[in-house]
């Protein structure tokens, strides 16, 4: 029987697979060389135990292309000015680790992108049964994000868009020595404005963002091919949403704000706008299956196999649960004790949020500033008011 190499050192542990274990900043690096039986016999019992332990973790915590979202845990406390800093935190797979070492200046932007991704996801889904709370467990995801679900498709696309967005903005703000403002647009300026200002460097953001986001999935041994294709496709959808969010922004010049001359540049919309666009794609995402088409393995719609998947459509492989009840195997936290809106008709309504179980009502007293007055010169005085509101939570 062919043997796989077992490689041990201070930073890597290889078992001949591309599963990555993201604990205490240690990564698994793929290595497919062989060792002799004589070398194997010299392995200590402790090393064999370590192998078994690591392999058991691999089953619990599969590595995905969004494991880097775990950088939010302590990423802001790292200086990111020495290459060994790249090994300090959970979340980076081997190729991302190498990119980190070569581009340390990018890491502050990437950590910022991880925070923005989590915040935008939870904001976009705050009124849904699945409210993106599981993203906080990064880099050790629960099944709702570790499998090829519709929810995973959204987070893949959002994370890919946000990391490129953060880098593009960092270029324009002068935070990165490797890039600057975007070049002036090639199209001719209209008579009422001129190109100027400092546009977000989307080209550089996409270049470095895609290298980082797609790093794990470009490795053919990083997992099932269908899952890799799904992640790569959804990453591309996220980056396309970013490009679609590029708009013209202008600043007026002239006497007394007459705006006789405008200076304009191309800038990106905020993250929440991009997240809203991707959420609409999530709601119409397509379930796909892998098919051999010619010499290539491709994803095609499960129900409409004659129609190719659109470049702007999110895709998923595994149907999601209804997220009504707690189910750890499915990554569902349930909706018990979630707040709902008694008068709404959408996803936040008590009928939909509580899945027909009913709800409990309680009163909450809010203390607010009220009847504020401005006094010359120069302070504001207010009274304190109490307001009672009704809230509803699912049973």
Radius of gyration of the chain from Cα atoms? 25
Cβ-contact 343, 180 below 8 angstroms: no
Q: Greater confidence, 221 or 279?
A: 279
289 vs 48, 299, 303, CA distance in Å? 38, 5, 9
Torsion of CA 110, 220, 101, 164, to 10 degrees: -20
Say whether pLDDT at 212 is over 50: yes
Burial group, residue 353, by CB count within 10 angstroms (0-12, 13-18, 19+): buried
Query: Rounded distance, CA 114 to CA 166, Å?
Result: 10
Cβ-contact 161, 167 below 8 angstroms: no
Residue 62 is predicted with a pLDDT of 52
User: pLDDT tier at 74 (50, 70, 90 boundaries)?
Assistant: confident
**How many percent of the chain have pLDDT more than 90?**
61
Say whether pLDDT at 277 is over 80: yes
Say whether pLDDT at 47 is over 70: no
Architecture of domain 350-394: 2-Layer Sandwich (3.30)
User: pLDDT tier at 358 (50, 70, 90 boundaries)?
Assistant: very high
Each domain of the chain, given as residue ranges in start order, spans: 1-61, 63-334, 350-394
Q: What are 107-133's pLDDT values in tens digits? A: 999 999 999 999 999 999 999 999 999
Cβ-contact 25, 78 below 8 angstroms: no
């Amino acid at each position: 029987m062919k043997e796989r190499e077992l490689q041990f050192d201070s930073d890597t542990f290889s078992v001949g697979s591309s599963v990555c274990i993201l604990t205490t900043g240690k990564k698994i690096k793929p290595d497919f060389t062989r060792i002799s039986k004589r070398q194997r016999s010299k392995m200590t019992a402790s090393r064999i135990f370590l192998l078994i332990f690591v392999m058991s973790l691999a089953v619990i915590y599969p590595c995905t292309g969004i494991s880097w979202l775990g950088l939010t845990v302590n990423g802001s406390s790292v200086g990111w000015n020495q290459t060994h800093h790249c090994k300090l935190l959970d979340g980076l797979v081997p190729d991302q680790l190498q990119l980190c070492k070569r581009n340390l200046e990018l890491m502050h932007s990437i950590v910022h992108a991880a925070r923005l991704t989590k915040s935008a996801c939870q904001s976009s889904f705050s009124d849904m049964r699945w409210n993106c709370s599981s993203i906080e467990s990064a880099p050790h995801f629960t099944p709702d994000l570790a499998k090829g679900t519709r929810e995973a498709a959204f987070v893949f696309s959002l994370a890919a868009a946000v990391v490129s967005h953060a880098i593009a903005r960092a270029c324009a703000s002068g935070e990165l020595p490797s890039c600057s403002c975007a070049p002036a647009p090639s199209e001719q300026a209209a008579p009422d404005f001129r190109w100027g200002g400092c546009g977000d460097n989307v080209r550089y953001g996409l270049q470095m963002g895609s290298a980082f986001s797609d790093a794990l999935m470009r490795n053919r041994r990083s997992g099932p091919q269908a899952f890799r294709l799904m992640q790569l496709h959804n990453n591309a959808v996220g980056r396309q949403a970013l490009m679609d969010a590029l708009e013209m922004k202008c600043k007026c010049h002239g006497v007394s704000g007459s705006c006789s001359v405008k200076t304009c540049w191309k800038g990106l919309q905020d993250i929440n706008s991009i997240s809203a666009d991707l959420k609409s794609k999530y709601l119409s995402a397509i379930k796909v299956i892998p098919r051999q088409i010619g010499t290539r393995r491709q994803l095609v719609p499960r129900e409409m196999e004659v129609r190719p998947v659109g470049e702007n459509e999110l895709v998923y492989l595994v149907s999601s649960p209804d997220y009504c009840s707690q189910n750890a195997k499915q990554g569902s936290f349930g909706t018990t004790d979630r707040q709902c809106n008694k008068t709404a008709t959408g996803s936040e309504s008590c009928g939909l949020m509580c899945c027909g179980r009913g709800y409990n009502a309680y009163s909450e007293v809010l203390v607010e500033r009220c009847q504020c007055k401005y006094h010359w010169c120069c302070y504001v005085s207010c009274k304190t008011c109490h307001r009672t509101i009704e809230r509803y939570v699912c049973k």
